[in-house]
Amino acid sequence: MPLSRRASGLAACLLTLPAFAADPLSPAALAEARALRERALADDTAYELTRSLTTEVGPRLAGSPGDARAVAWAMARLEALGFSNVRAEPVTVPRWVRGEARAEIVAPWPQPLVVAALGGSVGTPAGGIEAQVVPVASLDDLKAQPRERIAGRIVFFTNRMERSRDGSGYGKTVPARSSGAAEAASLGAVAMVMRPAGTSVSRTPHTGGQRYANGIPPIPAFALSNPDADLLEQQLASGQAVRVRVSNTSRWEGEAQSANVIGEIPGRGLADEVVLLGAHLDSWDLGTGALDDATGVGVVTAAAKLIRESQQRPKRTLRVVLYANEEFGLSGAKAYAAAHRDTSDRHVLGIESDLGAFQPYGLLARVAPDKLPLVRTIQSVLEPLGIAYLGSEADGGADVGQMRELGVPVMSLETDAAPYFDVHHTASDTFDKVDPALVRLNVAAFAVIAYLAAEAEGGFGRLPVAAETGK
């Protein structure tokens, strides 16, 4: 594994450093971080915020009435928790309306199928679309098919997502979701259905964003549940032609206004330097967005609030950014990066919470190489939480990653992704899946990281600016 080899190399290197060299964190700061960690383990602010957002707002797809309610909810909550400079920075978002999706096997053995339209799917004609199903294993498999095998048919992606702690199965199945319909349309398919990019064995299909290609007429795109994909495969296994009818009333309604909701805990002394704590306020519409990403909203907000209540506020400003529309094009993250590009060099570190706040097990950091010893010091305070140092491959997450491309150092707290992808983007992403003890562990980790990042002498350096975004 490249990651572990890299970590070992680093450990060897650390051994050669003199113990007294460059100590950017004072014993007092480390003591305060440990005290914060313990306070976080007895604090349910994050769990309560998660309960409140899922109960009082619920589904909040970008541009929907729920999205507007979520912005109002977040403004009120940050104010009530004593944040400073609470504001809603405007973000223009696409407005897609789900409507109703239906599917059924017509032959050889008629049965209903449970489906959900993928985000952005076009609708069908009123009578639906009926065609023979052609299975393909993956996006690469589809690209290898001759046009005559695909044209006029409904393409069925059969890949099954593997369940694992690191969530790596998601990246292998999500390409079919993102661009499977576009590729299928380019070969003349009339619709696309897929086994979900998720591990649920319930009859709750997954949704998620997808994009069409310019210049090719779009075709409707659906995810089945895993049991429905099994049923389709069982019927296909008979060797007979399997015909499916799909119908869908999804539609686009232009654009709508949303907002990044921002609140700060001002620093003492280095107040114009910022530690960025991110999560996203929007959610898909099928569930109540408990794990994706009400827990993240709760974790970053509670971590900053606990630091606000510290005896010693840190030197730098903590900025909580609750992003608009992560799910459907990163509108909020892009708007934030555009609006704050001029001060990107005053963003000392970025970190986000967007994986359901399950068991944390590791820390990744992408910082200037000479700042890795500082990361190891921070990790040493996280060690009692079961959080190991996992190397320097952090991407910072989907939202904060937009700032990483501008040179902002990032960390990623790795948490157990297996239970997350059991309900991710399904109707079952609901509050009952949230474990308060695990949420506390996440808050403790974020509070330690945020506090020490806001205190550390000299910060984390800068990253190379990504070619397409830098200037």
For a copy of itself, the closer of residues 200 and 402 by Cβ is 200
Told to check if 200 binds a copy of itself by CB under 8 A, we report yes
* Strand 360-366, strand 410-415: pairing: antiparallel
Told to check if 356 binds a copy of itself by CB under 8 A, we report no
Binding to a copy of itself (CB under 8 A): which residues in 124-163? none
For a copy of itself, the closer of residues 4 and 55 by Cβ is 55
Q: Which of 204, 247, 250, 442 binds a copy of itself (CB under 8 A)?
A: 204
Length of the chain: 471
> Nearest Cα to 256, choosing from 97, 71, 91, 74?
91
Output the CA–CA distances (angstroms, integers) from residue 322 to 68, 156, 281, 450, in the order listed: 13, 36, 5, 16
The mark string for 269-298 relative to a copy of itself (x by CB under 8 A, - otherwise) is -----------------xxx----------
Q: How far is the CB of 160 from a copy of itself (least distance, A)?
A: 11
Q: Which of 8, 55, 168, 380 binds a copy of itself (CB under 8 A)?
A: 55
Q: Which of 75, 231, 300, 322 binds a copy of itself (CB under 8 A)?
A: 231
Q: Which residues are identified as catalytic?
A: 326
Q: Which span sits near a copy of itself by CB under 8 A: 109-117, 150-158, 163-171, 211-219?
A: 109-117
Told to check if 248 binds a copy of itself by CB under 8 A, we report no
Q: How far is the CB of 91 from a copy of itself (least distance, A)?
A: 23
Q: How far is the CB of 138 from a copy of itself (least distance, A)?
A: 21
Told to check if 359 binds a copy of itself by CB under 8 A, we report no
For a copy of itself, the closer of residues 26 and 238 by Cβ is 238
Told to check if 203 binds a copy of itself by CB under 8 A, we report yes
Told to check if 226 binds a copy of itself by CB under 8 A, we report yes
Told to check if 68 binds a copy of itself by CB under 8 A, we report no
For a copy of itself, the closer of residues 58 and 119 by Cβ is 58
Told to check if 376 binds a copy of itself by CB under 8 A, we report no
For a copy of itself, the closer of residues 195 and 371 by Cβ is 195
Told to check if 430 binds a copy of itself by CB under 8 A, we report yes
Told to check if 54 binds a copy of itself by CB under 8 A, we report yes
8 A C-beta contact, residue 169 and residue 163:
yes
Q: How far is the CB of 57 from a copy of itself (least distance, A)?
A: 7
The structure tokens listed for 314 are: 């840190």
For a copy of itself, the closer of residues 28 and 76 by Cβ is 76
Binding to a copy of itself (CB under 8 A): which residues in 379-398? none
Told to check if 433 binds a copy of itself by CB under 8 A, we report yes
Q: Which of 431, 446, 451, 460 binds a copy of itself (CB under 8 A)?
A: 431
Told to check if 79 binds a copy of itself by CB under 8 A, we report no
As a whole number of angstroms, the distance between CA 371 and CA 366 comes to 9
# chain residues binding a copy of itself, by CB under 8 A: 34
| HEC string for the chain | CHHHHHHHHHHHHHHCCCCCCCCCCCHHHHHHHHHHHHHHCCCCHHHHHHHHHHHHCCCCCCCCHHHHHHHHHHHHHHHHCCCEEEEEEEEEEEEEECCCEEEEEEECCCEEECEEECECCCCCCCCCEEEEEEEECCHHHHHCCCHHHHCCCEEEECCCCCCCCCCHHHHHHHHHHHHHHHHHHHCCCCEEEECCCCCCCCCCCCCCECCCCCCCCCCCEEEECHHHHHHHHHHHCCCCCCEEEEEECCEEEEEEEEEEEEEEECCCCEEEEEEEEEEECCCCCCCCCHHHHHHHHHHHHHHHHHHHCCCCCCCEEEEEEEECCCCCCCHHHHHHHHHCHHHHHHEEEEEECCCCCCCEEEEEEECCHHHHHHHHHHHHHHHHHCCEEEECCCCCCCCCHHHHCCCCCEEEEEECCHHHHHHCCCCCCCHHHCCHHHHHHHHHHHHHHHHHHHHCCCCCCCCCCCCCCCC
Q: How far is the CB of 240 from a copy of itself (least distance, A)?
A: 11
Q: How far is the CB of 147 from a copy of itself (least distance, A)?
A: 31
Q: How far is the CB of 430 from a copy of itself (least distance, A)?
A: 4
- Find all residues with CB under 8 Å of 373, minimum gap 6, and list them: 14, 17, 22
For a copy of itself, the closer of residues 57 and 333 by Cβ is 57
Residues that bind a copy of itself (CB under 8 A): 51, 54-59, 109, 111-112, 114, 200-204, 226-227, 230-231, 234-235, 238, 286-288, 423, 426-428, 430-433
